[in-house]
Amino acid sequence: MIYIIFPILALVHLGVLFLGSDIFLLRLISKIVPILYLIALSVGEGRWKTRVGIWLGIGLVFSLGGDTILAFPDKYFVFGLGSFLIAQVAYSVSFSWGNPVHFLRLIPYVLFGVSYFYWLLPGIAPALTIPVAVYVSAICVMGWRSAAREVSSRDRWLGILGAISFIISDSIIALGQFTPNKLPFHGVWVMSTYYIAQFLIYLSQEEEE
């Protein structure tokens, strides 16, 4: 059912964004319901009984927190960033459990992270420089850990594509936050890549439960 219910829930919120609704509660509730569904599903499936499932659940809970905080004014941005930082660390741990290091697979993520951060740097307020640098590092580590897994080809590629989608989503957020190059339908792009990321990451760990 996840292949039907989650896309429908995600499309509802994307529709709300596309139509430009100004109703705060509608935007907030439609935003968090897809992640609430994944949390409920993980509990129902008993994923909390394994270490991988526990860390996946922690990632989902703090993603939910970040979603909620970032629905409020920009003055709370750093708190949303902190919640998603914890989510990225949790996903990294879930990807790492029982898997090798593979330092060579870190290289493309380091190259991207460093180059993108320095491109954004002129637009980042001094007080946010370190938090943003830490967050960029965390999401690149999450991408690396998804690529370092020794699992089935299906799960590895779902994880890699999910992590890359997360990196794209956060990169679009940073683009709109720290540069004047905000994309048309910015929120739709952010949330569509974000929902794809969460969906694929969730599916990528089904065989490890």
- Residue 198 located in a structural domain: yes
- What confidence category does residue 67 fall into, taking pLDDT thresholds of 50, 70 and 90? very high
Domain for residue 93, yes or no? yes
Q: What is the pLDDT averaged over residues 117-136?
A: 96
State pLDDT tens for residues 82-112.
999 999 999 999 999 999 999 999 999 999 9
Q: Which domain holds residue 134?
A: 1-204
Query: How many CA atoms does the CB half-sphere of 8 hold within 13 Å?
Result: 6
- Tens digit of pLDDT for each residue in 143-197? 999 999 999 999 999 999 999 999 999 999 999 999 999 999 999 999 999 999 9
In a domain? residue 209: no
Query: How many domains does the chain contain in total?
Result: 1
Give the C-alpha separation, 36 to 87, whole Å: 15
In a domain, 164, yes or no: yes
Write down the pTM of the prediction.
0.95
Is residue 209 very low, low, confident or very high in pLDDT (cuts 50, 70, 90)?
Answer: low
Burial label for 69, CB within 10 Å (0-12, 13-18, 19+), is middle
pLDDT band with cut points at 50, 70 and 90 for residue 208: low
Is 52 within a domain? yes
The reply to whether 111 falls in a domain is yes
Alpha helices in the chain (DSSP H): 2-19, 24-44, 51-69, 77-96, 107-120, 126-147, 153-178, 186-204
